[in-house]
A and B are shown apart, each in its own frame.
Chain A
């Protein structure tokens, strides 16, 4: 089965500084890739996704992620963070080689804390 690694469980960063949240998955088969964000006391919501086409995908609030097949990574970046970006971020991978409906795998999450 696919495994998804988010090495950083917590990332503190000062406001207006850049940030990168790392996500690696276990194999280089065909995949769909997602980042979800969980704001305090809320459920997860989709931030951005890669299904096909351009390997660089962007969200409406300034985040971007790049699919790197050779490094099996999908790191999330933002050039300048705001206080409102404080949240937990989850990377998720769907393994197209695994049949059935149980082929979406989540990482353990990275808590981003933006410091004023």
Chain B
């Protein structure tokens, strides 16, 4: 089954304790992206990747890191989490090639709800 898998689904941590949220897709997509969803703000893009070793900042990259060492995996790293990073996070992938308009649908994971105290 084609899917994007995120882990964990729920995570509670304390300020400053490094954490990683994993994301894996089995559709051989080149494009992957991380979003955070907050009430009233909708989806905001954190980072995206067009291919292995190619990553770029989205709209709200501060406090986050990503890596793309393999095509299928795109982990999100919070080196020193803070309470303002409490949010619902989504990983997504797409066949989007990077040229022209974004004409391929995004496939989303089921989300990771992060609470930083």
A67 interface residue per 8 A CB criterion? no
Among A56-64, A79-87, A105-113, the stretch that binds chain B is A105-113
Query: In which size bucket is the chain B interface?
Result: 20 to 34
The contact of B110 among A30, A34, A41, A104, by CB within 8 Å, is: A41
**CB–CB B108/A44 < 8 A:** yes
A94 close to B111 (CB less than 8 A)? no
Contact of A32 with B102 in the complex, beta carbons under 8 Å: yes
A45 CA to B111 CA in the complex, in Å?
A: 12
Residue in chain B with minimal CB distance to A31: B101
Q: Given contacts A90-B43, A101-B50, A108-B42, is CB(A42)–CB(B110) below 8 Å?
A: yes
**Number of interface residues, chain A, beta carbon within 8 A:** 28
| CA A94 to CA B108, docked complex, whole Å | 17
- Which residues of chain A in 48-101 are interfacial with respect to chain B, using CB atoms and an 8 Å cutoff? 49, 51, 90, 94-96, 100-101
Of the candidates B40, B41, B50, B108, the one having the most CB atoms from chain A within 10 angstroms of its own CB is B108
Bound Cα distance from A95 to B103, whole angstroms: 10
A106 adjacent to B110 (CB under 8 Å): no
